[in-house]
Structure formats: C-alpha cells, structure tokens
Chains A and B, each alone.
Chain A
Amino acid sequence: MGFNEDLSRGVTVEDDLLRRLRHAFPSARRAEGVHPEFDIEIPELQKTIEVKHDPMSQKTGNIVIEYYHNKPSAFSVSVADYWLIDTGDTELWFSRWGILECILTEGVEPVRIHGPADRHPKWVFLIPLVLLQRYSNVAPPKPL
C-alpha cells in the first residue's frame, strides 16, 4: 500500500472514531497541524488518543510499533493516553504504558524495515498480534 493510500485509510479510521466519540464527547477533535504527540483530543476527559491503522497485521500477524523514522517518531514522541490499533478487522485499545509493558516484558527487539514508499528506513517493534492483545488493558473512553 502506498503512502497516500495508507494515509487516507488512516484518516478514515480517525474520522470514524471521531464521529463515534462525539456522541458522548461533543468537543472531541483531531489534533491540528503537525502533531505527532497524539491524533485526537477529548477535552471533556482531558485525554488524548493515538490512532493506528494496521491492516497488514491481518496478513503478517504482527503489529508495527514505529519509534524511529529518520528521527524519533510515533511511540518515541507520543504522549497519548490511549492507543487505538485498528487492524481493519478489530479494534484494540491500549494505554501507552500497556504497549511499553509488552515490549519490555516480552523482550521484543527493534527491527529495521524499509517500505517501498519510504525514503528512509523505519525502526519498529514487530509485535505478534496475539501477544500484544494480552496487554490491551483499557476500555474505550466513556462518559464520566
């Protein structure tokens, strides 16, 4: 999948989540501009969400958690309280620390990948979906 297609599908997932969130949290909004620290903000809860669309995980069985792409990126710079990983098939909710716990406890090693559409290689953790699911430790945000 090319970068643009990947991006547009990711945006669709974010749009869908925003639409659902706004039923309970009308002020929920997308982060404006270049905002790698999080994707969506819920002012009512003072919580933020990182949304990750990873349909390739259905084929590979692995979720890609990126942390370096020519500079610290994604997991290295995110401050989001929640991470939503959409596999195209299912949605998994994590706290940021749940993902870190999985990486550290399971001793997941960093891997270098170079996508065809990427100018620079990425450094990522390839985490088996079945393993990461065990650390899915939060429920989606609900009204207080």
Chain B
Amino acid sequence: MAAKRTYYPLCLEYLDKHLDKDFHDLARATLPYYLPANILDLTTREQRRNAIESIPDDAVPSHTKELVKIGVQMLWKKERAKKNGIQRRFK
C-alpha cells in the first residue's frame, strides 16, 4: 500500500507500478490524508523533516505539502499533549 510509504517520490513510484493510470490523480489527492500518520511514525525529527521535504512544492493537488506538514504538526502536538497528560496523572 502506497500509504505505508513515507517518502513522496517512493509513494508515486509505487502508484505508477501498481495502480491503473486512471486512478493516479485520485491516489495523489488521497495521499495527504494518509502520509501524516506514517511520517509521524518515523523515529527522528530529521527523518520526518526529510519526508515532508520530499514533497515537491508544485505537487498536485497544489496544497499537498502544506496539508501534510500541518497534518504532521497537528498529530505530533496531539500525541505530545496526550503523553504529557498521562505523565501529569502519574506525578
């Protein structure tokens, strides 16, 4: 599944190989909603940053990079808040 991949060029490569061309645009439009959670699973900040930066500024749909970047930040903040909440409960 392309969504299990985190680096945008690898996702596109996978789509090219495994998906009928008629569905490429749809798959590209769907990627921004799957990538953030996968990128967040990467172990280092640098890996996460590289994964976001692997999305070209002119990717289609036009706001792909922005959606993914904001999405990763949102999930990261949510996860951090959750962890801090759990830590506070056990102090």
Enumerate chain A interface residues (CB-CB to B < 8 A).
67-68, 71-72, 76-77, 79, 97, 100-101, 103-105, 107, 110, 123, 125
Contacts and interface: CB of A to CB of B under 8 A. Distances in A.
Nearest to A98: B74
B12 interface: no
Contacts of B67: 100
B71 A68 contact: no
Interface residues of B, number: 18
A104 B63 contact: no
A105 B71 CA distance: 9
Nearest to B35: A104
Given A68-B29, A123-B30, A100 B62 contact: no
B29 A104 contact: no
B36 A104 contact: yes
Contacts of A79: 63
